[in-house]
Amino acid sequence: MNVSPWILAARPKTLPAAVVPVWVGAMPLLIDDDPFSGSWFLFWCTLASCLCIQIATNLFNDAVDHRKGADTANRLGPRRVTASGMLSPRVVMTGALAFCLAATLIAIPLIREHGWGIVLIGAVSLFFAYGYTGGPFPLAYRGMGELFVILFFGFVAVSGSYYVQAGEWGGLKIWTLGLQCGLYSSVLIAINNLRDIVEDTASGKRTLAVRFGKTFARAEIVVFCFLPVLLWMVLLPGNLLSLLLGLIPAIIGTVICFAVCRTEPGSCYNRYLALGALQLILFAFAATLHAALP
């Protein structure tokens, strides 16, 4: 079955990393018993804007990695539209800019509601949509991809989404959920970098997997899968049902860790990426149920 080049370039399997933090940050105020707290309209605006930024980031990444030689015909991961010649670099970059513009326009209701705080968050997010792989200091090429994901797909996205709903920054619970979300999202980056360790070494892309080797990369994935569970048990206390909810993502995390530790990097890691996305979705499910508990 032929798939549109734009769908391939958008990388649908990565989009849960944009959806889940918005969901987790907003749900505590959308499903509580107070009819005057939270706004579904602002939630959908936040979600759509974040999705546009994520897609723009993926498009920038597609074009920039091709220009730098990080994506080749021998890559183990999904096909890239620029490297395969399906779309030209200029067209892909133009598409990325169009999604940045769309993210900005969709965020106008958020700016009208909360002012300069949203402008600051949006401006920094748009800057790093390109700066993740492009610009004079590309984070992904300096081994800072995981840190970027924890900060922006964790703390910023979760606390920012809560701020949109509440008009104030959350306390320990929201920041804990932000860290957990960032760690689970980083599983995707870490698996991707371990899979591409040979290609990244050849192209000069100095990911943490390239810098410190396969053993470190595998240990990193284990930490990213299970540290959120420990944080849930320690910082999100509750009854027995609440504690059991925190274990739900660990089921998939266990499968992922055994898989990456027992297999050499290869195309099979694409399946582990799908499991990582599922783990992130299960975390959102657990966090929503936790917020609904009395």
Q: Residues in the chain, how many?
A: 294
Taking every pair of Cα atoms in the chain, the longest distance, rounded to a whole number of angstroms, is 56
Burial class (CB in 10 A: 0-12, 13-18, 19+), 46: buried
Do 206 and 68 meet the contact criterion of CB atoms below 8 Å apart? no
Distance CA 47, CA 257 (A): 30
Among 18-27, 71-80, 243-252, the least confident range: 71-80
Burial class (CB in 10 A: 0-12, 13-18, 19+), 111: middle
The rounded mean pLDDT for the chain is: 90
210-269, pLDDT tens digit by residue?
A: 999 999 999 999 999 999 999 999 988 777 888 899 899 999 999 999 999 999 999 899
Do 280 and 16 meet the contact criterion of CB atoms below 8 Å apart? yes
Residue 201: phi and psi, rounded to 5, are -60, -45
Do 121 and 159 meet the contact criterion of CB atoms below 8 Å apart? no
DSSP string, 99-133: HHHHHHHHTHHHHHHHTHHHHHHHHHHHHHHHHTT
Task: Report how far Cα 193 is from the mean position of its chain's Cα atoms.
Answer: 14
pLDDT of residue 65: 82
Q: How confident is the model at residue 1 (pLDDT cuts 50, 70, 90)?
A: very low
pLDDT of residue 84: 81
Distance CA 90, CA 198 (A): 28
Do 110 and 46 meet the contact criterion of CB atoms below 8 Å apart? yes
Do 61 and 123 meet the contact criterion of CB atoms below 8 Å apart? no
This prediction has a pTM of 0.91
